[in-house]
Amino acid sequence: MTKTIMLVCSAGMSTSLLVTKMQKAAENAGTETDIFAVSASEADHSLETKDVDVLLLGPQVKFMLDQFSQKVASRGIPIDVINMTDYGMMNGEKVLAQAEKLILENQSIDPV
Protein backbone atom coordinates (compact mmCIF):
# COMPACT_ATOMS: atom_id res chain seq x y z
CA MET A 1 0.00 0.00 0.00
CA THR A 2 1.39 3.37 -1.02
CA LYS A 3 2.03 5.85 1.78
CA THR A 4 1.46 9.51 0.99
CA ILE A 5 3.90 11.86 2.72
CA MET A 6 3.34 15.59 2.45
CA LEU A 7 6.08 18.05 3.31
CA VAL A 8 5.24 21.69 3.91
CA CYS A 9 7.76 24.51 3.78
CA SER A 10 7.66 28.23 3.19
CA ALA A 11 8.16 28.23 -0.58
CA GLY A 12 8.50 24.58 -1.57
CA MET A 13 11.97 25.02 -3.03
CA SER A 14 14.46 23.62 -0.52
CA THR A 15 12.11 20.84 0.43
CA SER A 16 11.92 19.54 -3.13
CA LEU A 17 15.54 18.37 -2.83
CA LEU A 18 14.63 16.55 0.38
CA VAL A 19 11.69 14.91 -1.41
CA THR A 20 14.11 13.55 -4.04
CA LYS A 21 16.38 12.13 -1.33
CA MET A 22 13.40 10.60 0.50
CA GLN A 23 12.11 9.01 -2.72
CA LYS A 24 15.53 7.49 -3.32
CA ALA A 25 15.61 6.12 0.24
CA ALA A 26 12.11 4.67 -0.18
CA GLU A 27 13.07 3.12 -3.51
CA ASN A 28 16.17 1.54 -1.93
CA ALA A 29 14.01 0.15 0.89
CA GLY A 30 11.40 -1.16 -1.54
CA THR A 31 8.70 1.05 -0.01
CA GLU A 32 5.88 2.41 -2.14
CA THR A 33 5.52 6.10 -1.39
CA ASP A 34 4.06 9.25 -2.83
CA ILE A 35 6.21 12.02 -1.39
CA PHE A 36 5.62 15.62 -2.35
CA ALA A 37 6.36 19.12 -1.07
CA VAL A 38 4.11 22.15 -1.12
CA SER A 39 4.36 25.68 0.13
CA ALA A 40 2.38 26.54 3.25
CA SER A 41 -0.05 28.53 1.09
CA GLU A 42 -0.77 25.48 -1.12
CA ALA A 43 -1.09 23.00 1.76
CA ASP A 44 -4.84 23.37 2.28
CA HIS A 45 -5.54 22.53 -1.36
CA SER A 46 -3.32 19.45 -1.20
CA LEU A 47 -4.99 18.28 2.00
CA GLU A 48 -8.38 18.57 0.30
CA THR A 49 -7.38 16.81 -2.90
CA LYS A 50 -4.97 14.09 -1.71
CA ASP A 51 -5.28 11.24 0.76
CA VAL A 52 -2.32 12.19 2.97
CA ASP A 53 -0.94 9.64 5.47
CA VAL A 54 1.46 11.98 7.27
CA LEU A 55 2.29 15.70 7.23
CA LEU A 56 5.79 16.94 7.98
CA LEU A 57 6.60 20.61 8.40
CA GLY A 58 9.97 22.03 7.46
CA PRO A 59 11.82 23.65 10.37
CA GLN A 60 11.29 27.09 8.83
CA VAL A 61 7.50 26.77 9.26
CA LYS A 62 7.42 25.01 12.64
CA PHE A 63 5.60 28.05 14.03
CA MET A 64 2.61 26.80 11.99
CA LEU A 65 2.45 23.44 13.82
CA ASP A 66 -0.60 24.36 15.92
CA GLN A 67 -2.43 25.75 12.90
CA PHE A 68 -1.82 22.62 10.83
CA SER A 69 -2.47 20.29 13.78
CA GLN A 70 -5.98 21.72 14.02
CA LYS A 71 -6.53 21.28 10.28
CA VAL A 72 -5.56 17.60 10.24
CA ALA A 73 -6.83 16.47 13.67
CA SER A 74 -10.32 15.56 12.45
CA ARG A 75 -8.81 13.52 9.60
CA GLY A 76 -6.45 11.60 11.87
CA ILE A 77 -3.33 12.66 9.97
CA PRO A 78 -0.20 12.58 12.13
CA ILE A 79 1.94 15.70 11.99
CA ASP A 80 5.42 16.65 13.14
CA VAL A 81 8.26 19.05 12.41
CA ILE A 82 11.24 17.67 10.51
CA ASN A 83 14.35 17.45 12.66
CA MET A 84 16.44 20.53 11.86
CA THR A 85 19.71 18.61 11.53
CA ASP A 86 18.16 15.99 9.23
CA TYR A 87 16.61 18.78 7.16
CA GLY A 88 19.86 20.74 6.97
CA MET A 89 21.80 17.65 5.95
CA MET A 90 19.01 16.67 3.50
CA ASN A 91 18.99 13.22 5.13
CA GLY A 92 16.20 11.55 3.16
CA GLU A 93 16.56 8.25 5.01
CA LYS A 94 16.07 9.78 8.46
CA VAL A 95 13.16 11.99 7.41
CA LEU A 96 11.51 9.02 5.68
CA ALA A 97 12.00 6.98 8.85
CA GLN A 98 10.41 9.80 10.87
CA ALA A 99 7.39 9.80 8.55
CA GLU A 100 7.03 6.01 8.62
CA LYS A 101 7.25 5.96 12.43
CA LEU A 102 4.45 8.54 12.68
CA ILE A 103 2.27 6.52 10.31
CA LEU A 104 2.87 3.31 12.30
CA GLU A 105 2.17 5.01 15.63
CA ASN A 106 -1.01 6.48 14.19
CA GLN A 107 -2.18 3.09 12.90
CA SER A 108 -1.64 1.48 16.28
CA ILE A 109 -3.98 3.99 17.96
CA ASP A 110 -6.47 4.02 15.10
CA PRO A 111 -9.68 2.30 16.26
CA VAL A 112 -10.46 0.97 12.76
* Catalytic residue positions, numbered: 9
Q: Where does the chain have alpha helices with state H? A: 14-29, 43-49, 65-73, 84-88, 92-109
Residue 18's contacts (CB-CB under 8 Å, 6 or more residues apart) are: 7, 37, 82, 87, 90, 92, 95
| DSSP annotation of 89 | T
CA neighbor of 91 nearest in space, from 101, 83, 100, 81: 83
